[in-house]
Chains A and B, each alone.
Chain A
């Protein structure tokens, strides 16, 4: 996929995220500020994807996008305050709704394959997701206590 395609796709979803932000999560935030916040995040995301492409060794895009995003707001970053101020205006949940809408719209392509799966594997799948969530939570609970964070 071309970088421009990534950018356009992020902008299309941005319309939805900004509307959702206003309607659902941050009614008091001016739309203009949310738009700026969203555009800053688009820029960070595209830089992250770009970095992954130009480097000769391969690490997941998720890693580079994270690194660019984190660096942009660490205390050493000259633009940290601006980035934090504006990106704060876009609620996390406002970004989630369009993503899961697309996830839903993709469901049809997997239904035929799903019909071939035994109900037993469905139960196993639920245990797999529950297991990874709950065991990590349990370890975190114990360790956070030991470290005195909670």
Chain B
């Protein structure tokens, strides 16, 4: 797989970028919320259509090369965010406590919302792998090592990983845009929320905020960038040493109460709980 030599994907990407940037950002107001449609979101959708296997426009190695290209380009976003942070270091230290504490929200928010929903939907041990983290590449390794490559936990992680690749960015981009339009949270707080530790999801959500609050664009990138830096460096250790044990504990405690899967019913009938 040679990323640079897969010239067809670059031609497709170039055409898609020109087309979507010409269309530009569109807003649709729905009651109190505004849906923000950014060129990058159309770009993802058009790209997905081009790569649709039935159309046979792209071959599998080309799709893999696109994925590798995505990985390389994410570092440019990190650089762009970093050069914005440099001059604002002093300003960031003023909100140092907020910046460090909100990481707890990033690390545990996946479990707090995801775990009860998974149990109510009747999902079994997949719940642990699915909800203990945002399930990007490093998180897969943790679960594979802990539970083995043929475990339900790893299936859960992989499922969320695939969903993230397919529509994580679009979802968070739209969601962040809606939250921005509702005036519940300060743009700085939302910006920190964007640092979820996935390049494409961070790009889509902080991009949406920037489009919603153009006059605060620079500050938004500073806070989103700093938060993302923390999430992606500390996140892996926190996931391993805190989030995973916490998720396992909560699963053990909560699944007999709100779990609906066949395993839980059997267990409660057996009187083990």
List A contacts of B227 (CB < 8 A): 136, 140
Contact B81 A97 (CB under 8 A): no
List B contacts of A133 (CB < 8 A): 109, 172, 175-176, 193-194, 196, 205
Please report the number of residue pairs spanning A and B whose Cβ atoms sit closer than 8 angstroms: 428
List A contacts of B113 (CB < 8 A): 127-128, 130-131, 134-135
Q: Which of A16-48 contact B (CB under 8 A)?
A: 16-17, 19-20, 23-24, 41-42, 44-45, 48
Q: How far is the CB of B63 from chain A (nearest CB, A)?
A: 4
List B contacts of A134 (CB < 8 A): 105, 109, 113, 179, 193
Q: How far is the CB of B53 from chain A (nearest CB, A)?
A: 5
CA distance A53 to B63 in the complex (A): 27
Q: Mark each residue of chain A from 83 to 111: 1 if its CB lies under 8 Å from any CB of chain B, else 0.
A: 11001001011111111111111111111
Contact B81 A117 (CB under 8 A): no
CA distance A110 to B74 in the complex (A): 19
CA distance A95 to B101 in the complex (A): 29
A68 nearest CB neighbor, chain B only: B82
CA distance A8 to B5 in the complex (A): 10
3 tightest CB-CB pairs across the interface, nearest first? A104-B47, A69-B82, A73-B86
List B contacts of A114 (CB < 8 A): 162-163, 166
Contact B3 A120 (CB under 8 A): no
Contact B81 A66 (CB under 8 A): yes
Partner of A117, one of B66, B87, B163, B185: B163
Partner of B101, one of A48, A104, A128, A143: A143
B118 at the interface (CB under 8 A from A): yes
Q: Which of B136-173 contact A (CB under 8 A)?
A: 138, 156, 158-160, 162-166, 168-169, 171-172
The winner among A61, A99, A113, A143 for most chain B CB atoms within 10 A is A99
Q: Mark each residue of chain B from 206 to 218: 1 if its CB lies under 8 Å from any CB of chain A, else 0.
A: 1100110000010
Partner of A124, one of B17, B114, B204, B221: B114
Contact B89 A70 (CB under 8 A): yes
List B contacts of A136 (CB < 8 A): 102-106, 109, 192-193, 195-196, 227
Other A-B pairs beyond A99-B70, A124-B121, A136-B105, 13, CB < 8 Å: A44-B83, A73-B82, A80-B86, A90-B80, A101-B13, A105-B13, A105-B47, A108-B52, A125-B168, A130-B171, A143-B95, A149-B98, A150-B186
